[in-house]
Structure 1
Amino acid sequence: MDDPSKLDPTTPATSRPPRIPPRWFVRTAWVVHRGLYRATRGRRGLWAARPERWGAMQLTTTGRRTGRERAVIVAYFEDGPNLVTLAMNGWAEPEPAWWLNLLADPEARVMLPTGPREVRAHAATGVERERLWAAWRTFGDDVDGLAARRTRETAVVVLEPR
């Protein structure tokens, strides 16, 4: 992928992509987060999105190879009745398994702090993607810098109520 500083003339040539913790640390954090959620029977580990901060929800998909339910905790924000998340894998190169599962079967279930919801997923494109990506920028995370670390575009996933 091209150097982001060459693509955007407002980016200083000396800027570097944001630092990402080692993969082992990211994976350990995921395991601990899921463990906390399970150990507290869902009382801890999820939080509601607010206008100034994203929330955390549990997303349950159907495994594309096994057909079994697979649950992950992902960040989200609300866009009207829809929930929006990013198909990132700790900003690592491969697509997250949950996104590949949704591509195979877009029907899913989410658990929010306010309760469960049945959803249908699609990738935002065009103007919708630009608008939602801009919304992610407002939360203070350097999503542009983090996404520049990947060779593929990070999908913006819209979960519509069923």
Structure 2
Amino acid sequence: MPARAMMRMISGTHEFWYRLSGGLIGGRFGRLPILLLTTTGRTSGLKRTTPLVYLPDGKNMIIIGSNGGSDKHPEWWLNLRSQPKAEVQVGRDVRTVVAHKADGDERERLWRQAVELYYGYDEYRRMARREIPVVVLAPDN
């Protein structure tokens, strides 16, 4: 099975159990908190859900577009750039958010916090030949 198809299958299974259990199953990966991000496909217009590690920051949630250190941006980030409004599920709580890419001082502060949460992000940064996006998901009021 190709790697991309395998990842979709794993993500779909993760999403299924997360939603069914309200995050009791799949809401953490070890000590890392997991959310479900649902974006709108930039070409298909279809809803796409991805489980992601996140970092709470006040009312916002921070996600990192590391794509495992790949040279390519994750599809969810390309979708958010096209349509910043998305849906997030944390546990049983589902909310609408608006995404923006953190820059400058905000990016540096959030990157440091993300690396404190998961040291692997520093390794991904060394591997990737691109700037890894630090994405802020803010409540859509």
Q: 1:156 aligns with which of 110, 134, 138?
A: 134
Name the CA distance, whole Å, in 1 between partners of 2:123 and 2:19. Answer: 35
Deviates more, 1:126-135 or 1:37-46: 37-46
- Shift in Å at residue 37 of structure 1? 3.5
Structure 1 equivalent of residue 27 of structure 2: 46
Structure 1 segments unaligned to the other structure (5+ residues)? 1-22
Residues 26-83 of structure 1: per-residue CA shift (max 9 Å, x gap): 97466335314315643121249xxxx4310110001110111111111101000000
Q: Which has the higher helix share?
A: 2
Name the CA distance, whole Å, in 2 between partners of 1:128 and 1:27. Answer: 35
Structure 2 segments unaligned to the other structure (5+ residues)? none
Q: TM-score, normalised by structure 1?
A: 0.74
Over 3 Å counting, the alpha-carbon distance change for 1:30 and 1:65 in structure 2 is closer
SS at match of 1:60: strand
SS at match of 2:20: coil
Q: Which has the higher strand share?
A: 2
- Displaced runs of 4 or more, over 2 A: 26-34, 39-42
Count the aligned residue pairs: 135
Q: Rg bigger for which structure?
A: 1
Percent identity reads 34
After TM superposition, the structure 1 = structure 2 runs for residues 7-26 of structure 1, keeping only pairs within 5 Å, are 24=3
Structure 1 equivalent of residue 69 of structure 2: 91
Residues 98-150 of structure 1: per-residue CA shift (max 9 Å, x gap): 10000001000001114101100000000000000000121242322221101
Q: TM-score, normalised by structure 2?
A: 0.85
Deviates more, 1:140-149 or 1:78-87: 140-149
Equivalent residues of 2:36, 2:89 under 8 A apart:
yes
Q: Which amino acid aligns with 2:78?
A: L
Name the CA distance, whole Å, in 2 between partners of 1:79 and 1:40. Answer: 22
Cα RMSD between the aligned structures? 2.3
Structure 1 equivalent of residue 101 of structure 2: 123
